[in-house]
Amino acid sequence: MVDRRQFLGIGTAAVLALTAGCTGGASEETGGVTGEITGAITVLTNRTDLATTALPQYAKAFEARYPGTRVAFEPVTNYEGDVTTQLSSGQYGDVLLIPNTVKVDQLGQFFEPLGTTSELKAKYRFVDEKAYDGKVYGLSLGGVANGFVVNKRVWAQAGITAPPTTPEAFLAGLKAIDDATDAIPYYTNYKDGWPLSMWNGHRAILGDPAANETFPADANPWQPGKVQHITDGLLFDIVHNRLSEPDPLTTNWEGAKPMIGTGKVASMLLGSWAVPQMRDAAKAAGANPDDIVFWPFPYQTGGRFYARIEGDYKAAVSRTSENKATAKAWLEWFITESGFAGDQQAIPSAVGQDLPPVLKDFQATGVELLELPAATANSGKEDEIIKMSEVDLTGNIYRQKLVDIARGAAKGDKESYFAELNKRWSAAQSQVMK
């Protein structure tokens, strides 16, 4: 299953020309990993589509930069499940993406520290997302912004040419699309499930950079005016007002790409990583790829849009690697010099590198991109509340039920369901936050 956390694991890469110097065989000392950069390493990847095509081109550039090295790739289709099993066996390559199954306090069991949070923040974005006790264990291969992928041609046919600034205006826009066009105003991707988890990515809309710290301290996040009520409430209203696909049980992720690309669908809430994919689908279908744009979530604080940016999968050096120096050199080179993030239209993790065109266009809407630091005082508390309450905030189960209630396939209404969620969350929160 592909999920939001695999934006660098789907789509087709346009590999840029890579230049490489001929300095190599050097010795580096950073992050506690020392030694000569030489010899072979194995890199585990979820990029099954690129493992024998684009990725080896990056490897050749690295090998030219560091003569005497060799990089091989091990593609893993069921990345989360299979690599989690490999971790327990002790055999998991030299460089790998950290599975989401690894808890933050387990990072040191499986991965080498790459440096301290304070020192690496000067070089990379998103470093505290896989850090523990002041040590960084994973670096993001690229970042994403959260928002709506829309077909601007369809929205323009309904008279809307700028991003709506409120949930009510967004709903009115979807209604106008329904009235004026043959397009499905909004597509939930309900059946695949994982796209519904993307509704959790909008904690920044209130403009609070400490949102990750304060969120677990709130016992009732589904109350009016709070972020879960705003975001989940919009999803409910879209479905309840029959502005989404007629039968969510038959949605299809791959099929949705050409549908929005050609204007059969007007809108989907996803990450910025999806824009190049939808544009590729539009082009393949003979439609105009420039019709696909990225809009912020329809909510403003102080007259401004805010959108969260966050790192995708974090790559790490295996503790069991027998060639840690070369593994770390590859990881740092891949992030800072390879151009991979730019090829993927992702936010470069290396500080100071330019945003991709998709994100520059996004900024032109007036949105402020906000990176939310991980909780420190309340580190790990949110995960504990999620587990105890059985409200899968980062998943799709409770939002599928939300959609079912909204479309009349399950009992209840928005108010009763939000009250239930608050009750379950609050009960767990009171225990975790003692």
pLDDT digits (tens, 9 = 90+) for 90-102: 999 999 999 988 9
- Tokens found for residue 107: 């990072």
45 and 193 share one domain: no
Q: Identify the helix (H) or strand (E) that includes residue 131.
A: strand 131-132
Q: CA quadruple 322, 121, 131, 139: dihedral positive or negative?
A: negative
Amino acid at 189: N
Domain closes at, from 281, 309, 337? 309
CA 165 from centroid of its chain's CA atoms: 23
Residue 378 lies in a domain: no
Q: What is the DSSP letter of 150?
A: E
C-alpha 325/C-alpha 41 separation (Å) is: 10
Per-residue model confidence as pLDDT tens digits over 60-84: 999 999 999 999 999 998 898 899 9
Task: Specify the 3-state DSSP secondary structure of 24.
Answer: coil
C-alpha 73/C-alpha 55 separation (Å) is: 8
180 and 304 share one domain: yes
**How many structural domains are present in the chain?**
2
Regions of the chain where pLDDT drops below 50: 1-30
186 and 255 share one domain: yes
C-alpha 258/C-alpha 235 separation (Å) is: 22
320 and 287 share one domain: no
Q: Which residue has the tokens 């059946």?
A: 191
Domain closes at, from 294, 327, 348? 348
Residue 210 lies in a domain: yes
What residues have CB less than 8 Å from 80, skipping those under 6 apart?
99, 100, 101
125 and 160 share one domain: no
C-alpha 46/C-alpha 232 separation (Å) is: 30
226 and 270 share one domain: yes
Helices 381-389 and 414-432 cross at an angle (nearest 10°) of 120
192 and 101 share one domain: no
**Residues 40/377, Cβ–Cβ less than 8 Å:** no
Amino acid at 322: E
Amino acid at 365: T
169 and 249 share one domain: yes
160 and 301 share one domain: yes
- Burial (CB count <10 Å: 0-12, 13-18, 19+), residue 253: middle
Q: Tell me which residue range forms the domain holding 20.
A: 4-142+312-348
What does pTM read for this prediction?
0.82
Q: What is the CA radius of gyration of the chain?
A: 22
Q: Are strands 39-45 and 69-75 parallel, antiparallel or unpaired?
A: parallel
- Tokens found for residue 87: 């971790």
189 and 289 share one domain: yes
Residue 119 lies in a domain: yes
Nearest one of 271, 289, 272, 292 to 280, comparing CA atoms: 289
Q: What is the pLDDT of residue 428?
A: 98
329 and 270 share one domain: no
Residue 272 lies in a domain: yes
Interior angle at CA 116, CA 350 and CA 334, nearest 5: 30
C-alpha 380/C-alpha 372 separation (Å) is: 15
Q: What is the pLDDT of residue 32?
A: 52
Q: What is the pLDDT of residue 33?
A: 63
Q: What is the pLDDT of residue 9?
A: 39
CATH number at residue 170: 3.40.190.10
Residue 385 lies in a domain: no
102 and 164 share one domain: no
Domain closes at, from 309, 336, 368? 309
